[in-house]
């Protein structure tokens, strides 16, 4: 009887904790069970009464405010980390949406599903189908990257004429006024060519256009926005330099407020000295956005001497500015270069937003970056992934070894399935996050998640695609459609916040305070010395900790699974995400409590917590995509593969966090709560792997859906589209495969000459032996000719690669 009552009390308390019902309900459970225990177990009854008394003292505001809250507040003031002004700006930038739900441990799925992805407008879809297709048809990757290291003039003119650089600029200023969804769709399609994607993406991302829209004066908008929209002005933005990369707040570039005579008049302005590098479009830019540290030592503007980071717009031909030299970005030499300036004088009205925006540059940059980082590089990654589906799937089906397509080999199927799964995740994440932006959100933490994880996916996908192509992809030349994009992948990894820093510092570091339901409120109460606000936030936080512990423990044991609004195919994955959301929230609080301010320096722990949050976010996007879309044949298996992969990664990050948390007693307790029966999410099964590999290497609805946003139409003139060529081959593959087998079977029986080793010879021999009909022979001649073209690699004259022909050695003189 005592055991039954004890279990009843435990179950009742877990139920109250799971629901975060508050101290009164917990006290009620203990008092009721305590009274029932009086006749069977005095000790259990006493224990429950003491527990009820302690809970009342600590949990009821009217009691704790007199003794516990003041002591807790005093201790919190001592241990709470200090938030610098630059950190505060970053924390306050953007909005909190679904990422905040994941921090609660009890995500409300209706808040995610309420805003459906409604697709593109007719105008946006037309631009995607026509102008984007035409732009791609003008891109020969080898010609652009190797022969000219630039886009051809006719393509530059086309991009300007069709306003590719004005996608974000409203129609009232002459731009296209596209939605975020349309921008990401355009960049996904253009991603088949890295140079084109970057050239179009950057002016529509972090740059003068967006800064002007949000902060520019009316005069600045009226002058610059129409000119940026139609390409009369090409912008760049100078932020990073030799000593300011990831730590952009430590800019050494200065602007000193001073007076200078201009055209016979004394003008109040700024004298700039700066050195920037890695600035995309700088070599061809006509207007330069510049970030610098602004000082007013002579008090010409007032009493403030150090105004802080400021942003200004400077015409290219301004005296003292050196611009035009180029860097050579690895793999894809898009326009990128240094900018220097010595004693460059600009009037005050060059400041974006005018004089009143002096010193507001860091806030401006952070707020713009939270949107731009969600779109440009993640869209490029998703687009490159779709292109890899088309090429890797097609190549492995037509490439035969041991008389079978290599796509049927399990060793090849594993990377093909990874390509499919990560492409599906990337597309879901970037499309649905763009939809959030269109609904008014400025997702700061998701922008870091997408930037890091999708560019890492891009690197993984292109590595897998290179591997399954073998020699076809490692031999550079006009026929190599992967090598240039693969070699340029480190650019995406490095720019807009290096991935190492993004993972180890930004995702969880920013999210822990920005997205947590209570931490920001506790810090605000500390700063305002508001004990009442602290009491409400601190003990709400305590309730959250107990609630997450109860939810994580019971759901890990499959007790009281979360109620989720998904179908039978996806429900278990949503319930697993809810369980890991509770585990993540509990671990995040444990790390912040045990490490305090030291957590900033424990980057590996922060990275693992960030990995958990990121995989939960990506999994949510996959589930939302599945919930809203009309699934095609095979998509259920793709969703299962993707979710299994993400949950495996989530659990792995949790396990590694627990293994490395310095406080071992806390780590052990957390393991008992969050992984009471150990790890249960393995990597996707071989069966799923095989199904997905076949689906993307044959002409299936799933392959078509994954490539729906990619460039799949045949090129024009000298610009063939390998994806279109593979699609054509795959449409005829079933017929061709039957004839391959027919010819090989006849050869094995000795019906064809032993010397008929080449496929072409075997087909001709099969026609002569009447194994093939004339129609079958004609079909296989054409089919095999295209296959051979897709397998062929380029070769060059001996002296082709020597820039200085005088250094050539005559190894075999005549």
How buried is 474 (Cβ within 10 angstroms: 0-12 exposed, 13-18 middle, 19+ buried)? middle
Structure-token pair, residue 809:
């050695």
CB 109 within 8 A of CB 565: yes
Please tell me the distance from the alpha carbon of residue 378 to that of residue 668, in angstroms, as a whole number: 37
Name the one residue in this structure whose structure tokens are 């990664």: 649
769: which residues sit within 8 A by CB, 6+ positions away? 746, 751, 752
Structure-token pair, residue 582:
């509770």
Nearest to 699 by CA among 740, 735, 738: 735
Structure-token pair, residue 739:
């004839």
Q: Catalytic positions, please?
A: 496
Distances (CA, A) of 813 to 807, 809, 810: 15, 9, 6
Please tell me the distance from the alpha carbon of residue 155 to that of residue 307, in angstroms, as a whole number: 42
For residues 595-621, b (16+ Cβ closer than 10 Å) or e, as one string?
beeebeebbebbbbbbbbbbbbbbbbb
Please tell me the distance from the alpha carbon of residue 96 to that of residue 516, in angstroms, as a whole number: 9
Please tell me the distance from the alpha carbon of residue 662 to that of residue 670, in angstroms, as a whole number: 12
Nearest to 360 by CA among 624, 92, 67: 92
Please tell me the distance from the alpha carbon of residue 192 to that of residue 481, in angstroms, as a whole number: 9
Nearest to 286 by CA among 241, 324, 248: 324
3-state secondary structure of 796: coil
For residues 410-419, b (16+ Cβ closer than 10 Å) or e, as one string?
eebbbbbbbb
Instruction: Tell me the β-bridge partners of 255.
Output: 272, 294
Please tell me the distance from the alpha carbon of residue 771 to that of residue 749, in angstroms, as a whole number: 12
Please tell me the distance from the alpha carbon of residue 587 to that of residue 551, in angstroms, as a whole number: 13
Please tell me the distance from the alpha carbon of residue 103 to that of residue 512, in angstroms, as a whole number: 8
Distances (CA, A) of 188 to 137, 489, 594: 15, 15, 43
Please tell me the distance from the alpha carbon of residue 131 to that of residue 597, in angstroms, as a whole number: 52
Please tell me the distance from the alpha carbon of residue 442 to that of residue 454, in angstroms, as a whole number: 18
Contacts 24+ apart (CB under 8 A), 22-29: 22/59, 22/543, 23/55, 23/56, 23/58, 23/59, 23/60, 24/59, 24/60, 26/52, 26/55, 26/59, 27/52, 27/55, 27/56, 27/59
CB 582 within 8 A of CB 593: no
Please tell me the distance from the alpha carbon of residue 208 to that of residue 543, in angstroms, as a whole number: 46
Please tell me the distance from the alpha carbon of residue 658 to that of residue 679, in angstroms, as a whole number: 12
């Amino acid at each position: 009887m005592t055991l039954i009552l004890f279990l009843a009390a435990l179950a009742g308390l877990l139920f109250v904790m799971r629901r975060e019902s508050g101290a009164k309900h917990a006290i009620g459970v203990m008092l009721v069970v305590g009274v029932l225990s009086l006749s069977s177990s005095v000790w259990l009854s006493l224990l429950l009464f003491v527990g009820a008394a302690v809970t009342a003292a600590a949990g009821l505001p009217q009691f704790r405010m007199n003794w516990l809250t003041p002591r807790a507040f005093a201790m919190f003031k001592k241990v709470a980390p200090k938030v610098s002004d630059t950190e505060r700006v970053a924390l306050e930038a953007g909005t909190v949406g679904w990422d905040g739900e994941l921090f609660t441990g009890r995500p409300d799925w209706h808040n995610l599903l309420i805003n459906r992805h409604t697709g593109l407008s007719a105008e946006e879809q037309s631009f995607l189908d026509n102008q984007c297709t035409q732009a791609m048809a003008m891109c020969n990757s080898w010609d652009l990257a190797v022969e000219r290291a630039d886009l051809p003039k006719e393509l530059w003119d086309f991009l300007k004429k069709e306003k590719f650089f004005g996608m974000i600029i409203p129609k009232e200023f002459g731009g296209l006024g596209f939605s975020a969804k349309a921008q990401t769709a355009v960049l996904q399609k253009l991603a088949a060519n890295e140079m084109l994607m970057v050239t179009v993406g950057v002016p529509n991302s972090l740059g003068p256009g967006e800064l002007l829209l949000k902060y520019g004066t009316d005069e600045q908008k009226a002058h610059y926005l129409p000119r940026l929209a139609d390409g009369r002005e090409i912008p760049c933005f100078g932020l990073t330099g030799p000593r300011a990369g990831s730590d952009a707040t430590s800019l050494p570039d200065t602007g000193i407020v001073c007076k200078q005579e201009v055209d016979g008049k004394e003008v109040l302005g700024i004298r700039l000295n700066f050195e920037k590098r890695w600035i995309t479009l700088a070599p061809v830019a006509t207007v330069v956005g510049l970030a610098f540290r602004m000082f007013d030592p002579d008090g010409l503007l007032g009493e403030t001497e150090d105004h802080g980071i400021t942003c200004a717009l400077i015409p290219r031909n301004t005296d003292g500015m050196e611009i035009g030299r180029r860097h050579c970005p690895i793999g894809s030499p898009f326009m990128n270069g240094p900018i220097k300036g010595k004693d460059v004088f600009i009037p005050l009205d060059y400041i974006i937003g005018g004089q009143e925006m002096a010193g507001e540059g860091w806030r401006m940059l952070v707020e713009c970056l939270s949107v731009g980082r969600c779109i440009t590089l993640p869209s490029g990654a998703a687009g490159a992934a779709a292109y890899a589906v088309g090429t890797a799937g097609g190549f492995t089906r037509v490439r035969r070894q041991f008389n079978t397509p290599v796509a049927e080999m399990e060793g090849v199927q594993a990377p093909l399935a990874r390509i499919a799964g990560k492409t599906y995740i990337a597309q879901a994440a970037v499309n649905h996050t763009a939809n959030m932006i269109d609904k008014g959100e400025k997702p700061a933490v998701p922008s870091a998640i997408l930037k890091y994880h999708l560019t890492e996916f891009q690197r993984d996908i292109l590595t897998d695609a290179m591997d399954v192509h073998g020699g076809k992809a490692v031999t550079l030349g006009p026929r190599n459609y992967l090598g240039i994009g693969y070699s340029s992948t480190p650019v995406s990894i490095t720019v807009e916040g290096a991935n190492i820093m993004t993972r180890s510092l930004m995702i969880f570091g920013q999210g822990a305070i920005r997205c947590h339901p209570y931490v920001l409120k506790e810090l605000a109460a500390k700063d305002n010395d508001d004990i009442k606000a602290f009491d409400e936030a601190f003990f709400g936080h305590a309730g959250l900790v107990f609630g997450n512990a109860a939810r994580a423990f019971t759901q890990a044991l499959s007790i009281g699974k979360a109620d989720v609004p998904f179908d039978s195919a996806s429900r278990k994955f949503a319930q697993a995400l809810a369980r890991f959301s509770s585990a993540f929230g509990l671990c995040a609080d444990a790390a912040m409590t045990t490490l305090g301010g030291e957590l900033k320096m424990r980057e590996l722990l922060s990275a693992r917590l960030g990995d958990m949050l990121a995989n939960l976010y990506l999994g949510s996007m996959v589930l939302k995509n599945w919930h809203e879309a009309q699934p095609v044949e095979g998509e259920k298996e793709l969703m299962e593969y993707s979710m299994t992969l993400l949950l495996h990664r989530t659990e792995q990050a949790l396990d590694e966090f627990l293994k490395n948390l310095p406080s071992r007693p806390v780590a052990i307790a957390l393991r008992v709560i969050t992984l009471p029966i150990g790890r249960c999410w393995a990597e996707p099964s071989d069966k799923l792997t095989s199904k997905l590999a076949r689906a993307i290497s044959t002409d299936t609805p799933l392959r078509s859906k994954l490539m729906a946003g990619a460039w799949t139409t045949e090129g024009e003139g000298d610009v063939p589209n390998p994806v279109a060529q593979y699609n054509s081959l795959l449409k005829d593959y079933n017929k061709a495969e039957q004839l391959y087998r027919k010819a090989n079977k006849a050869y094995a029986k000795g019906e064809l000459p032993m010397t008929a080793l080449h496929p072409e010879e075997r087909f001709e021999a099969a026609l002569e032996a009447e194994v093939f009909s004339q129609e079958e022979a004609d079909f296989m001649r054409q089919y095999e000719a295209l296959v051979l073209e897709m397998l062929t690699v380029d070769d060059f004259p001996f002296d082709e690669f020597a820039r200085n022909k005088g250094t050539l050695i005559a190894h075999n003189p005549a």
